[in-house]
Amino acid sequence: MLGKYPIGPVDLTKILFSRIIDIPQTWHDQAETVVFSVRLPRVVMGAVIGGGLACAGAAYQGIFQNPLVSPDILGASNGAAFGAALGLYLSLGYRAVSLSAFAFGLLAVTLVFLISQKVKFNVALGLVLAGIMIGSLCSAGVSYLKLVADQASTLPAITYWLMGSLASIRVQDVFFAGPIILAGVVPLMLWRWQINVLTMGDEEARTLGVNTTLVRTVIIASATLITAAAVSVSGLIGWVGLVIPHFARMIVGDDYRVMLPAAALLGGSFMMAVDNFARMIATHEIPLGILTAFVGAPFFLYLILREGGRQQ
Amino acid sequence: MLKGISFFASEGKLLCVLGKNGAGKSTLFRCILGLLRNYGGGIRIDGVKAADLSTRELAKKVSYIPQNHATVYAYSVLDMVMMGTTVYLGRFQNPGRKQRAAAEKALETMKIPHLKDRSFSEISGGEQQMVLIARALAQQTKILIMDEPCSNLDYGNQIRLMRALKELAKQGYLVIQSTHNPEHVFLFADEVLVIREGIVEAMGDVDRTLTEELLQRVYGVKVNLHEMQGTHRKFCIPDEKEISYRHNQDLFYENRELSSGK
């Protein structure tokens, strides 16, 4: 409807339904191409990524009993960023860059997980500390790659990629990241109540009959899958996983049975809305990550101040 | 930490565990609850070795009532109590009508049904403690374990809590709790277990077990036991003459041992 190639709502509806029922063609072939290979994938991917990141963030916030945690806490984003930067530096193809980002995201969290197993006295603390360490290691790696990258071609590519955008989403991305993200969301949704119990703390949850090791491992694995898959196709889009769960809590309360689905819906809508602005505010696309930060950071500040006011 | 622990407790009793900080009370509880599992010796619940039971199976026999604690997220009181029913849920099941009914019944038993829809983080510390007990009741275990439940409560709530626990013991639960207050033991407990340096110092009926001499040996403070006239109620007060140089010296050495990491 909006943007550089306007398609009216009537035509859009006709185009969408033409794949299901027979409608006489009243539009340009070009319009159909724009809808099906550019705009529809972008909208669908935006919704799935936004919802997925919000779920992942909410899940992490639950199992770490810390509302200030975001999906990149265990280094998934930083790992994926390094993977993507490496792929771009080596001038790999588009597909290979995504795969490399995804693989390094998983690798980073796996490392974090293995290190944390050595910290026996406090598993959660071990995870967070190892996450910070691996995360900064990956950032250092990215900085180094930027330093040695070709200033004319690969450096801008890496820089833009790091800012996060849905502009380059194509159908193939939806079929690559979509199923992975959905597969990660399913266990989180199934274990909504168990996450509630886990927020009571590890030992208490165990005395309530929850196999905390299993549940925590599955939840971390799922949330990591979501984050790595999202970052691998869209780049770093910050704040969604941190802020949207809080937004959901403000509306429906803290109970994960209601809050998690609410966060998923809000995350999806938020992402689609912000992406529209990213597309149209300026003549050039503004990277989505910049916009989410502009919205997310002030909102987060507001939350902190509100929280501080309640404590007194 | 624990070296020679051996005791037996049965349903329908309020058992208090006394001992200095670091004597091994919490360790003992963690063993019973299955949070620590690689201990020598054995704990048997209804004749079954606790170490052989899975987390789930054990949670159907023993429940833990933590000290009233701040929760990061604000759940309703009913949701808090329903967490006690988790162990009876299927793998991916959310609590339903049946669990809700069980939770409401537990709130009735604790005489706090009016708190049902309040937020757990907004009710008072004493009320929170009652809600956590209700959660243990919803868990339907015969054994309830509490680690120093009175430590964050004001005097009125301490007494209300102890009365509630006594009542539960009468209803047939085995309530095991640690306490720092011998008064509570005299007033409410059926049996007492005294631990000193990881070893059972004494165990049994309160009146016969808890003597002046034992309290002094355990806490290093001289106390006098008195019986209230016309009743069999005992109480203890610190010996006035002993509030003294010697006691301060003990404290001094104790602190030094602590800081040197012993």
User: Which residue would you say has higher pLDDT here, B235 or B178?
Assistant: B178
pLDDT at B262: 40
Predicted confidence (pLDDT) at residue B257 exceeds the cutoff of 60: no
Q: A132 — phi, psi (to 5°)?
A: -60, -45
Q: What are the start and end residues of each CATH 3.40.50.300 domain in chain B?
A: 1-50+144-262
Least confident of A174-188, A219-233, B8-22: B8-22
Q: What is the pLDDT of residues A149-203, one digit of tens each?
A: 988 888 998 988 888 888 888 888 999 999 999 999 999 999 999 999 999 988 8
Q: Which helix (H) or strand (E) holds B258?
A: helix B245-259
pTM here is 0.87
Chain CA centroid to CA A23, Å: 37
> B161: Cβ–Cβ under 8 A, 6 or more apart, which residues?
B126, B129, B130, B149, B150, B153
| Candidates B71, B84, B92; nearest CB to A190 | B92
CB contact under 8 Å between B75 and A255, yes or no, is yes
Test B59 with A207 for CB contact under 8 angstroms.
yes
Binding-site residues on chain B for chain A (CB distance < 8 A): 30, 33-35, 55-56, 58-60, 62-64, 66, 71-76, 79, 83-84, 86-87, 89, 92-95, 139
**pLDDT band (50, 70, 90) for residue A1:** low
Nearest chain B Cα distance for residue A181, angstroms:
20
Which ranges of chain A would DSSP assign to H, the alpha helix?
Answer: 9-18, 29-33, 40-63, 76-89, 94-118, 123-148, 154-163, 171-190, 192-198, 202-207, 212-234, 240-252, 256-280, 288-311
A62 contact residues in B (CB cutoff 8 A): 73
ipTM associated with this complex: 0.84
- A194, A210, A254 ranked by CB distance to B73: nearest: A254
Phi–psi pair at B203, nearest 5 degrees: -150, 135
A310 interaction partners in chain B (CB closer than 8 Å): none
Which of A103, A57, A64 is CA-nearest to residue A80? Answer: A103
What pLDDT digit, counting tens, does each position of B104-116 carry? 999 999 999 999 9
- Say if residue B140's pLDDT is above 90: yes
pLDDT of residue A123: 77
Name the residue in chain B with its Cα closest to that of A187: B92
| Nearest-Cα residue of chain B relative to residue A66 | B72
Report CB contact under 8 Å: A199, B92. no
Q: Which of B64, B72, B89 sits opposite A199 (nearest CB)?
A: B72
Q: Is the pLDDT of residue A19 over 90?
A: no
CATH code for the domain defined by B1-50+144-262: 3.40.50.300
State the Cα torsion B204-B207-B208-B212 to the nearest 10°: 110
Taking 60 as the threshold, does the pLDDT of residue A311 lie above it? no
B59 vs A191, A208, A257: nearest CB: A208
Residue B234 three-state SS: strand
Q: Which of B55, B92, B93 sits opposite A206 (nearest CB)?
A: B55
According to DSSP H, which parts of B139-200 are helical? 155-170, 182-188
- Say how many residues make up chain B: 262
Degrees, nearest 5: CA angle A10-A14-A17: 140
Find chain A residues with C-beta within 8 A of B59's C-beta: 206-209
Find, in chain B, the residue whose alpha carbon is nearest to that of A205: B83
DSSP letter string over B85-106?
GGGGS-TTPPP-HHHHHHHHHH
Chain A residues touching B76 at Cβ < 8 A: 253, 255
Q: Which residues of A touch B (CB under 8 A)?
A: 62, 65-67, 190-194, 196-197, 199-200, 203-204, 206-212, 249, 253-255, 257
Over residues A95-120, the mean pLDDT reads: 90
The vertex-A213 CA angle with A212 and A218, nearest 5°, equals 100
B204, B193 in Cβ contact below 8 A?
no
B40-54 pLDDT, tens digit per residue, is 888 888 888 888 899
Question: Quick count: other Cβ atoms within 10 Å of Cβ A277?
Answer: 14
Q: Mean per-residue pLDDT for A104-110?
A: 93
Reported confidence tier of residue A307, pLDDT bands at 50, 70, 90: low
Q: Which residue would you say has higher pLDDT here, B9 or A158?
A: A158
- pLDDT cut 90: percent of chain A above it: 52
The 8-class DSSP code of residue A239 comes to S
Q: Given A204, A211, A249, which is nearest B55 (Cβ)? A: A211
Residue of B27, B83, B132, B141 best to disrupt the A interface, most CBs of A under 10 A: B83
Closest-CA distance, A249 to chain B, in angstroms, reads 9
Among the four given CATH numbers 3.40.640.10, 1.25.10.10, 1.10.3470.10, 3.90.78.10, the one describing domain A43-311: 1.10.3470.10
Q: Give dist(CA B60, CA B48) in Å, integer.
A: 13
pLDDT of residue B1: 61
3-state secondary structure of B50: helix
Question: How are the residues of chain B apportioned to helix, strand and coil, as percentages rounded to the nearest 5?
Answer: 45, 20, 40
Look up residue A164 and give its two tokens.
Answer: 């996060």
Is the Cβ pair A207, B79 closer than 8 Å? no
Dihedral angle computed from the Cα positions of residues A217, A219, A221 and A225, in that order, rounded to the nearest 10 degrees: 180
Minimal C-alpha gap between B88 and chain A (Å): 9
Q: Which of A208, A214, A246, A251 to mutate to test the interface with B (most CBs of B within 10 A)?
A: A208
Out of A191, A193, A209, the one facing B95 most closely (by C-beta) is A193
Angle at B172 between CA B171 and CA B174, to 5 degrees: 125
A162-198 per-residue burial string, b: 16 or more CB within 10 A, e: under 16 = bbbbbbebeeebbebbbebbeebbebbbebbbbbbbb
Please count the residues of chain A: 312
Q: Which residues of A touch B35 (CB under 8 A)?
A: 203, 206-207
What pLDDT is recorded for position A296? 85
- C-alpha to C-alpha distance for A78 and A231, rounded to whole angstroms: 9
> So what's the pLDDT on residue B254?
55
